[in-house]
């Protein structure tokens, strides 16, 4: 006798039941995981997927991680930046093993990078002081070299350049916005107040120190300014085209000018005299990069200087800003820190000079290979000047700092690397005919000059800022050596736009 009702389980129905059971089990498991851990896992999975898609995406993540490296600690004690760099290196190795499309690294720059790392390792190996600190400092340069190597060898398309330029601007812009809020609401330690009777503090963003924060901004504003200028020219010349094209170009110009304004305003709010001098040198570097088209830039600089002087004379500028500007000359003078009576007004200037003198004595003690990479703070008490026994960690002049730690060998290797990057930038300016790439190279001129000038007063090769520099150096390298692949095919028709920086 046959049953009245039969329930058949086809393969498809059994599969659906299995899927639903697995989904319910996963849902129950996810419900037990804390929300922060779940968000971390989701973010890590997304980052891994994007990085595996192309190593350039991982380089951008490393660039974006710089402002938050001290804010988030991952499991295992890794910072976000350390994890991003390891991810970048890992996917680059996989990319290379898969024999995917990638560039040959420029032999001259590769040699210069190797020379610097060799000089630092040599100093670290023979130092009688802390080899741990020496290796820690050298690792910062290794990180920068890795990021440059990955980016320089994998930038093969125009979108790679656009993506990296966006990352190189977005991270400093967000950090600058935080700094402006800190300045406006007075959110900072008492030592950061610009005047005892004012509620404002020096902007420091997520970096923690106003001078380092301002140095980070000097690695971004020239690029934003150059791109804003060329985008404005492009928008202005788009009259008569499709309305959507016109609107999109003006929106891009407004965004870039907003980034430029926010970063420059935060730079001003940092009240960093060294950064202001570095910014002026950066503007000069951009003007030199423009060559004969630099006349409007020089006129703009002269007008800005005249306006500042007029506002100072008429008393319109805030007194705290006038005092800060007036002290720039004193901060550049050389004197014996032991022969000066310390007052609240000259404390910072005398302390800076004491660190300079200590660095000079270190260099005199070990002129060839230095006291050891990363050992300035370790040996500072032995070379302290007068009663200045507390070290700030650097000599307030990176060139002297490098000479003190790595000797003349390390200093020459560092200067050779910077010289190689300048030569590469000049080559990029001669080769490209695309206005976007040309403006990026002009911005690179400004960044190299601003960092070089600011390094006369600070050490900007800290806190993995080398990742930001390595990113822009790699972009400039792509412009210099592979312009034909990353510029649009119709760029030959836009040769006249190369002058847009000067005529906009």
So what's the pLDDT on residue 238? 73
So what's the pLDDT on residue 177? 95
> Which residue shows structure tokens 């809020």?
181
Q: Model-level pTM?
A: 0.85
Residue of 344, 422, 322, 417 lying closest to 119 (CA atoms): 417
What the block records as the tokens of 437 is: 């790439």
pLDDT in tens, 129-144: 998 999 999 999 999 9
Q: Is 288 exposed, middle or buried (0-12, 13-18, 19+ CB in 10 A)?
A: middle
Domain spans of the chain?
Answer: 107-148+190-503
pLDDT in tens, 267-326: 999 989 889 999 999 998 998 888 777 666 666 666 666 666 665 566 665 666 666 656
What the block records as the tokens of 95 is: 């990319």
Quote the CA–CA distance of 273 and 236 in Å, as a whole number.
36
pLDDT in tens, 74-114: 777 788 898 999 999 999 988 888 876 667 788 899 999 99
Q: How far apart are the first and last CA of the chain?
A: 94
| Helix, strand, coil % over all residues of the chain, rounded to 5 | 75, 0, 25
So what's the pLDDT on residue 498? 45
Residue of 96, 141, 88 lying closest to 118 (CA atoms): 141
Residue of 412, 404, 428, 429 lying closest to 112 (CA atoms): 412
Q: Is 142 exposed, middle or buried (0-12, 13-18, 19+ CB in 10 A)?
A: middle
What the block records as the tokens of 482 is: 């592979």
- Cβ pair 217, 265 in contact under 8 A: no
Quote the CA–CA distance of 413 and 96 in Å, as a whole number.
29
Most distant CA pair in the chain: distance in Å?
116
**C-alpha 390: how far from its chain's center?**
28
Backbone phi, psi, residue 125, to 5°: -75, -25
- Cβ pair 385, 354 in contact under 8 A: yes
Quote the CA–CA distance of 294 and 290 in Å, as a whole number.
5
Write out residues in the chain with pLDDT < 50, as ranges: 1, 4-7, 491-504
Count each helix (H run) and each strand (E run) in the chain, helices first: 21, 0
Sign of CA dihedral 332, 337, 343, 344: positive
- Cβ pair 68, 175 in contact under 8 A: no
Quote the CA–CA distance of 393 and 208 in Å, as a whole number.
15
- Cβ pair 472, 447 in contact under 8 A: yes
Quote the CA–CA distance of 248 and 238 in Å, as a whole number.
10
Across 463-495, b (16+ Cβ under 10 Å) vs e yields: bbbbbbbbbbbbbbbbbbbbbeebbeeebeebe
> Which residue shows structure tokens 């390595």?
470
The SS3 of residue 193 is strand
The SS3 of residue 201 is strand
């Amino acid at each position: 006798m046959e049953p009245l009702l039969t329930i058949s389980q086809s393969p498809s129905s059994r599969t659906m039941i299995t899927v639903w059971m697995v989904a319910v089990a996963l849902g129950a498991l996810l419900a037990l995981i804390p929300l922060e851990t779940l968000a971390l896992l989701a973010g890590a999975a997304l980052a891994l997927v994007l990085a595996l898609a192309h190593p350039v995406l991982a380089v951008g993540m490393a660039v974006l991680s710089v402002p938050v490296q001290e804010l988030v600690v991952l499991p295992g004690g890794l910072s976000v930046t350390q994890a991003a760099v390891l991810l970048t290196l890992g996917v680059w190795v996989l990319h290379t093993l898969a024999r995917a499309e990638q560039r040959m690294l420029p032999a001259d720059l590769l040699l210069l990078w190797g020379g610097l790392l060799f000089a630092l390792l040599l100093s670290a190996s023979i130092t009688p002081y802390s080899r741990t600190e020496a290796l820690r400092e050298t690792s910062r340069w290794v990180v920068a070299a890795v990021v440059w190597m990955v980016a320089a060898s994998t930038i093969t398309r125009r979108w790679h350049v656009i993506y990296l330029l966006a990352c190189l601007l977005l991270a400093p812009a967000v950090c600058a916005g935080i700094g402006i809020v800190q300045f406006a609401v007075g959110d900072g330690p008492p030592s950061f107040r610009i005047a005892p009777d004012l509620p404002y503090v020096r902007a420091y963003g997520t970096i923690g120190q106003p001078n380092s924060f301002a140095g980070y901004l000097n690695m971004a504003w020239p690029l934003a300014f150059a791109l804003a200028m060329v985008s404005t020219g492009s928008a202005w010349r788009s009259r008569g085209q499709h309305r959507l094209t016109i609107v999109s170009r003006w929106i891009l110009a407004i965004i870039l000018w907003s980034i430029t304004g926010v970063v420059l305003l935060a730079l001003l709010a940092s009240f960093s005299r060294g950064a202001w001098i570095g910014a002026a040198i950066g503007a000069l570097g951009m003007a030199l990069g423009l060559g004969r088209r630099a006349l409007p830039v020089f006129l703009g600089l002269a007008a800005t200087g005249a306006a500042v002087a007029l506002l100072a004379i008429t008393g319109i500028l805030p007194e705290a800003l006038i005092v800060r500007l007036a002290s720039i000359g004193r901060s550049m003078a050389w004197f014996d820190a032991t022969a000066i009576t310390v007052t609240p007004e000259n404390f910072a200037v005398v302390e800076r000079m004491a660190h300079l003198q200590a660095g000079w004595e270190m260099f005199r003690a070990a002129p060839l290979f230095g006291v050891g990479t990363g050992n300035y703070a370790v040996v500072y008490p032995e070379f302290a000047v007068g009663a200045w026994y507390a070290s700030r960690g650097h000599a307030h002049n990176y060139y002297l700092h490098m000479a003190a730690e790595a000797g003349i060998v390390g200093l020459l290797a560092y200067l050779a690397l910077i010289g190689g990057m300048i030569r590469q930038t000049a080559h990029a300016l001669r080769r490209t005919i695309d206005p976007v790439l040309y403006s990026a190279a002009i911005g690179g001129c400004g960044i190299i000059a601003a960092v070089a000038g600011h390094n006369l007063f600070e050490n900007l090769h800290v806190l993995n800022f080398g990742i930001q520099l390595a990113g822009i150096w790699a972009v400039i390298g792509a412009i210099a050596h592979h312009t034909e692949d990353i510029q649009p095919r119709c760029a030959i028709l836009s040769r006249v736009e190369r002058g847009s920086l000067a005529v906009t």
